[in-house]
Structure 1
């Protein structure tokens, strides 16, 4: 090689691709919950993969060939024959049992005619998999047997994930199965729109087929169209009537036309992110962008609505399903790719006879449809159908959606006048029409309250390395936790930020229960167990353990005559703070419970854990025993007041991923000097100890003004902190707040101001005070 060639610069590399990770666009597996059955109709050549998601969950399988004498593909796997688990599930009428019975009856068979095989088991690790190849068509019955979970045991039932891979040349169904009996359905190809009629009471399901595709929606009351008055849905009026003065991405619970008539109500939403206030795309948008004549939703609406006597518009206001826009601090709109995954949908119920129009947006010049417009599918269900109202939650981006569910106390809460809100995927009472938040507050402070807290996440941590796993992942020293004791702990990221908080119950030498706030905490614990090589299982028990909080100065008086404990266990009167014991309702053969002296109110209080089948009986017994004592139901609104007065931390307020325990006011959960083993976040917390960027303080606000979460705290013109939680304290008769501020100002008596409006035009005078604001020495909760 000559010198000139050696001196030539290297050839530059081509531009790099975007390199995006898009786990949300993968189709999620089908979940099979613990203690349930599933019948799978499988074609020849298909393959099936099953995963024991959390570990330790036995499955039982039986094969019915489509043709008599067919080969049993389960036999080729060498799986042992099972016991009576599948038969027990079928007899208990668990979810899926009816479909299984129908199949067996149609084939003229019983379960005794089939060979039942067992897979996985109590020792299978989280993520264990089983693959099945199907040489011929048939039906596979899959069951996840487990005994009902006792409150003082850890034998929970957990889900199995199923992935179906079709034979070469066969395609997976591109749409989720119908929600119920279909009345009609149709496809809206990309870049088009269609008008259709819906009668009062009927349901409309708008489905994003491939994911990240917007669909504009409009509706008109037919009786007004017939009278020559095409009055459309009005987003501004809808937003105002529902108390949303500013645009917020999402969907309204009801949608109103410009004359204030309610046309539709939202029933289910599996996406959770929409733009319900902008217009459909119009010719002007594309003209100004240099694409004159581009297809657009407004023109498509005009064409679809013309046969119904609706005059054209230059730009149509619409409910913009799956459209992802944001409003910045200066009220400017921006957009990004939609949040919707393949099969995501919105389900609406017509309140009057309607003419509706739906589009599949043709926008391909920006990220509105992920740069590639695809189809929208619409399904119509009869008025006789019944669908629960729910919003979807996902534990991870590629997890299947899980809709808002009712706790086992739901019917009793409803009978007490509950106003339900979605709290972390469960319907919980915000308050009660029979009492009101103020009466509920005073009942907690002066008498006794009962509250459904079953939405708290519960995980059973078991195995010979259970303690080691918790020592590694939690800030507390679990070696000092005795059987029968509870401890409050922080759970931190490696950088020291708080991931979650919770309470840990020690049920046995190798048996622990974590009660926390987030499903992802359990997922992370399983990942850490696998990474560190710990022989420990982290299995969810949230839906198999319901918990009822009985709080207030008369809570002990209520429970002492209601609960029976064994002679070798402490009575309710003797149960110490942060201790628990197994108990029975009423007598030695009463329904089993676990009672802990814990709570989230700053008052003397207890939590009662039971199996869902016993929940209503437990509520009824507590309710009857509490009436002479002034018992009232309590909702989340009153709970927020008492926990702020008690100085108790709340996720997303006092702590988040960017806040360490010292800044969150829960530094007492980090025993850096006495915990002799390493744990996640220890190095970061060592560096931060004594050098916190902020300190949590209590603020007393002059007068009756009330601050809000996120309000800035000022010293003169300088912002020195932020309000994390605030309320008007009924007991103290003034506004109070918890705030993270500059540590040098966290001196009792320091005068500060809380900014409202732009932080400069309106100030609320505030003073740093001792907190908890109410009962700072915790004499009541320790009583």
Structure 2
């Protein structure tokens, strides 16, 4: 493996005699953000260009390179190492790196890092690597406790410009027992044993692969039992299974054959057949290669009867069914080079995989290519994961466990994806209703680590935030926070979150979407502002401690220095920097915020301190009835409290007032992005967010229509059954002409007319409308 480096022209490390070159972000066909506390991987091949940009400055990035043989390849990078190699296990999340090294049979100390950018490196510094041989590059951004408490962090952007005709195989995720290529337009049958993992890989992207599996024990008895898509859809409750609770492919006897462990695409087809000879003949292509005949040919040696049309799971086949006409629609696949689906065999199986030959439809991008299959031994478990891409051009990152997973996973197997983390939906000894009442009557602890955290730092930080946020940031004091919106020029809500002021020129933005950080960076660049937006990434896990006894619990464990606000002085939306028990305990940021409407706090800490803090709170709060809470209970409490959520109350076409967020817009401040549109819309509003109280317990769905007579006047945005009110409740967006409280309304079900749910319009929130509990 040989890598040529074009080093920075000034600052940071410099390789004498090598001229700096680069390429614009628009030229790169993939990008990867490395945020504070993270380690991320890039696979590179001959001819690729990798540019690493230090977006914010004031942080460190480490780099390592390994050839395909797993050997260290730093010497091929051409970088000087004035401080010598840096040990790997320092200051960043090592989960992904450790798993990768283990899969290759290496220990963590085997990888050698060198420091590329340091805390003294100016912002926007960058260098470019030209790759002349296949290699794996690891980038890590270490973080210290001081960075989290006093602000800082940093973000690095790795952009990769791929060589033409790129093919990619992902790194092995276990010990390979067998692997083979399925050439374009062909099929391959193979056997896998119970416990084996099979990985179907799209080598060049946008290539459909039909898959079928037969139970080996049934075949021995002369019976064909194979994946049944109807049974599978019924049991999974969806079009196809995915990693998580509903991950099984089942046969006609309702016996599970395979479980889905990893999926980097999430869009496949279980409705259509594998392509057939008849299908091509009737479109004027007699004799065209087809997957059904290919499957029959390779299955024949196993005594499996030939079929003119084979049912199959069509991996990477992008299909959809519109509810308006029930027609099956297809488009080009969403898969990219190296995308894959990995499954674990639950019994001995005979399988087949195809590389679809269809070149007359968009499903293979009109250019059929190869499929690669790997079979892994069952000796090493493969973690379940789903792909996460913040933006379309982002390199994929796989969902991972949070810093609190060692404790939460001991209490439940019910997890769901929250951005790029697995978080508990509920706990097995309580479930959602008990957790709900614990939050209302006692105290709950919840992993909320999927919340994004950014520090906005620099002399122009306030100026940038005044322009991009809907609140008057100039009025925000140190140790105080405020709920705010990031709005577009048309007044729509790009993101919402809480902004805390840590120092005169240092703010912490806790939000729900990567889009707001990109918006802030673009605005700062356009205006030439001296400000940096630094991401904390995985370095700052956080807990929500909510309920009327949350303060009593914290009084037992919180220690604050005299220069920080005492716990009793922290009012609603205030914060302090605290330590656990005494001045030598782990430090954390403690905010009086939450998403429940109850008295509550949030704790932001380092990865290393996460389990200590969890254990201390659980032990100390036992007599107070502390209860772990999952996302299911939070969803109910969130709606009762009238808190708006992205994708529900505010979407891409919803302005702040229509989303019920007008209270977070300060028209008395100076100009800000979206102000003119919001002023216009406020003067002539069309829709309003209201609450609905239903006569019974039947809960409507997001998107259900609000009807007066036969006329639709609004839409359900969120709904749940309220344990406290004893009926179904919902938030809904409705035409202002019908938004008066106590108005009787109906929600359409089925076709919108043959079944209706009666409701009464009411105010929001449904519970504690003056927020007296949270302010207590």
TM-score, normalised via structure 1 length? 0.88
Partner of 2:309: 315
The whole-number CA distance in structure 1 between the counterparts of 2:136 and 2:387 is 30
* One of 555, 558, 561 as aligned partner of 1:563: 558
Deviation at 1:418, TM superposition (A): 5.1
Partner of 2:476: 481
Partner of 1:686: 679
Verify: 1:125 aligned to 2:119, yes or no: no
**C-alpha offsets along residues 170-192 of structure 1, whole Å, 9 cap, x if unaligned?**
99763222223322111111111
- Paired positions, count: 741
Matches within 5 A, 1:388-403: 388-403=383-398
Verify: 1:642 aligned to 2:645, yes or no: no
Verify: 1:775 aligned to 2:765, yes or no: no
8 Å Cα contact 2:197-2:377 kept in structure 1: yes
Deviation at 1:131, TM superposition (A): 2.7
Partner of 2:381: 386
Deviation at 1:569, TM superposition (A): 2.7
Deviation at 1:93, TM superposition (A): 9.3
Change (3 A) 1:249 1:139: closer
The whole-number CA distance in structure 1 between the counterparts of 2:76 and 2:290 is 55
The secondary structure found in structure 2 opposite 1:489 is: strand
Partner of 1:710: 703
The whole-number CA distance in structure 1 between the counterparts of 2:571 and 2:486 is 25
Deviation at 1:142, TM superposition (A): 6.8
The secondary structure found in structure 1 opposite 2:262 is: strand
The whole-number CA distance in structure 2 between the counterparts of 1:120 and 1:134 is 24
The secondary structure found in structure 2 opposite 1:760 is: coil
Deviation at 1:118, TM superposition (A): 4.6
The whole-number CA distance in structure 1 between the counterparts of 2:618 and 2:232 is 39
Verify: 1:154 aligned to 2:151, yes or no: yes
Partner of 1:19: none
The whole-number CA distance in structure 2 between the counterparts of 1:41 and 1:263 is 32
Partner of 1:755: 748
Deviation at 1:50, TM superposition (A): 2.7
Q: Which moved more, 1:410-419 or 1:767-776?
A: 410-419
The whole-number CA distance in structure 1 between the counterparts of 2:446 and 2:674 is 34
Partner of 1:620: 615
Larger of the two Rg values belongs to structure:
1
8 Å Cα contact 1:595-1:606 kept in structure 2: yes
Partner of 2:12: none
8 Å Cα contact 1:149-1:544 kept in structure 2: no
8 Å Cα contact 2:153-2:536 kept in structure 1: yes
8 Å Cα contact 1:151-1:592 kept in structure 2: no
Deviation at 1:49, TM superposition (A): 3.5
The whole-number CA distance in structure 2 between the counterparts of 1:526 and 1:545 is 21
Verify: 1:670 aligned to 2:669, yes or no: no
Deviation at 1:742, TM superposition (A): 0.7
Partner of 1:585: 580
Structure 2 unaligned residues grouped into runs of 5+:
1-24
* One of 213, 232, 237 as aligned partner of 2:231: 237
Deviation at 1:568, TM superposition (A): 3.3
**C-alpha offsets along residues 183-219 of structure 1, whole Å, 9 cap, x if unaligned?**
2111111111110011111111111111111001000
* One of 251, 258, 262 as aligned partner of 1:264: 258
* One of 74, 83, 96 as aligned partner of 2:79: 74
8 Å Cα contact 1:63-1:74 kept in structure 2: no
Partner of 1:701: 694
Matches within 5 A, 1:121-200: 121-122=119-120, 124-126=122-124, 128-132=125-129, 144-148=141-145, 150-161=147-158, 163=160, 174-200=168-194
Partner of 1:368: 363
Partner of 1:18: none
Partner of 1:87: 86
Partner of 1:739: 732
The whole-number CA distance in structure 2 between the counterparts of 1:136 and 1:297 is 35
Deviation at 1:521, TM superposition (A): 2.4
Matches within 5 A, 1:535-574: 535-574=530-569
Change (3 A) 1:778 1:147: closer
The secondary structure found in structure 1 opposite 2:634 is: helix
Verify: 1:328 aligned to 2:312, yes or no: no
The whole-number CA distance in structure 2 between the counterparts of 1:139 and 1:322 is 25
* One of 408, 429, 453 as aligned partner of 1:434: 429
Matches within 5 A, 1:83-122: 83=83, 86-87=85-86, 89=88, 95=94, 118-119=116-117, 121-122=119-120
Deviation at 1:124, TM superposition (A): 3.1
**C-alpha offsets along residues 285-313 of structure 1, whole Å, 9 cap, x if unaligned?**
21221212211111111111111111012
Partner of 1:284: 278
TM-score, normalised via structure 2 length? 0.88
Change (3 A) 1:47 1:779: closer
The whole-number CA distance in structure 2 between the counterparts of 1:520 and 1:433 is 35
Change (3 A) 1:139 1:675: closer
Deviation at 1:775, TM superposition (A): 0.9
Deviation at 1:484, TM superposition (A): 0.5
The secondary structure found in structure 2 opposite 1:152 is: helix
The whole-number CA distance in structure 2 between the counterparts of 1:67 and 1:616 is 33
8 Å Cα contact 1:56-1:123 kept in structure 2: yes
The whole-number CA distance in structure 2 between the counterparts of 1:261 and 1:572 is 56
8 Å Cα contact 2:28-2:162 kept in structure 1: no
The whole-number CA distance in structure 1 between the counterparts of 2:208 and 2:706 is 40
The whole-number CA distance in structure 2 between the counterparts of 1:558 and 1:521 is 34
Q: CA RMSD in A?
A: 3.5
**C-alpha offsets along residues 300-330 of structure 1, whole Å, 9 cap, x if unaligned?**
1111111111101221111111111110112
8 Å Cα contact 1:249-1:324 kept in structure 2: no
The secondary structure found in structure 2 opposite 1:613 is: coil
